Amino acid sequence: METDKQGPASGDVVHSQHLLALDGLRGVAALAVVVFHRRWFAPSGHLFDHAYLAVDFFFLLSGLVIDHAYRQQLQRRLSFGKYALKRVVRLYPLIIAGAVLGLPFVLLRSPHWHGLAAFPFAVAALPAPSSLVKIPFEINRPSWSLFFEMVASIVYGAYAFRLSAKRLAVIAGVAGCGLLTAIHLHGSIDVGAGYGDVGWGFFRVAFPFTIGVLLNRARLKYPTKGLPFVVVAALLLLSFAPNPLGSYEAAYVAVVTMIVYPSLIYASCGQQPTGLTATIAKAGAFISFPIYAIHYPVFSWVERLIHPQTGWPAIGLFVAVAIITAVVAGFADERARGWIGRQLHARSAGGLPNRSSGGR
């Protein structure tokens, strides 16, 4: 079992056989986000209209996987500083890549020094001041959720990993009340990415992330055989479809994110995909974070250079581009993190990297 192998949100991949189904679901959700961000190219103009809920699904997965991967390490020997460094190394190469890809497009659209001034914030996945840009994460819009995920990761590594299940349940209850309040006020759970609702984003990440941690504790204490991966994946995709309840949008998103998604994740923990399903799950996990981190600016460039026409071929084009760029970015990310790891190891050992043996 590779409990520290990192690979949307959290980007962590655990290729543990008992959690492999979750890796696959991460890939399914990431591809749904790809379609959501260009759904207007579909003939009907609607496709996976609720795929923005994938963010809440990612937050749940992050809580479970981070607790699975780091809890024992933090309890035994891993310092908070080293833990935080691991999170930075895992997430930031692709966050920086997304910012670099997004900046030229923003400058072409609005040539102004404000875009350059906002770039350092995009590189750090931090909200830029409203005096610089129209929205906090304009250079690479999906990075808003990575900001909140990093906040949750820091709180976990600094303190929350020590908490008992009862105390975590209390935190989840308080955060859940805050999240329900946000849903009631806005009529949706789609909060956290704009200046007017960025504060509600802390409730949006706190509830699912904490529930994810609790699910990890629960799956160890109360193991389940769960549902087949194909069934769970189909239910997840179904939840991204246009709301069948019409005007009951707030109730729909509350039930899906606070009840259905935790249930789907728990039902997947006991699954042991094999053969082709296991291969697909690993592939989905490999491309999921690169897709999420860089697809938005890549799509902006595709539209500017190719000008695709509305229709299914356009949807296919965007999906293909997302997968291809994610594969390339994924391999580049692995090399980058490997190089960073060697530099850090050399520094901690008090020596210099061996240039002839991979120090480049």
One-letter amino acid for residue 53 of the chain: L
C-alpha 179/C-alpha 184 separation (Å) is 9
Tens-level pLDDT at each residue, the chain (360 residues):
333 343 344 556 554 555 888 989 999 999 999 999 999 999 988 899 999 999 999 999 999 999 999 999 999 999 999 999 999 999 999 999 999 999 998 888 777 778 899 999 999 999 999 989 889 999 999 999 999 999 999 999 999 999 999 999 999 999 999 999 999 999 999 999 999 899 999 999 999 999 999 999 998 888 887 788 889 999 999 999 887 666 788 999 999 999 999 999 999 987 777 888 888 888 998 999 999 999 999 999 999 889 898 999 999 999 999 999 999 999 999 999 998 888 887 877 654 444 343 333
Q: What is the pTM of this model?
A: 0.89
Contacts of 202 (CB under 8 A, 6+ apart): 148, 151, 192
For the chain, which residues make up each domain, given as ranges? Answer: 17-357
Task: Specify the pLDDT at position 352.
Answer: 45
Six token digits for residue 169 = 């349940």
Task: Specify the pLDDT at position 18.
Answer: 57
Task: Specify the pLDDT at position 108.
Answer: 85
Task: Specify the pLDDT at position 152.
Answer: 96
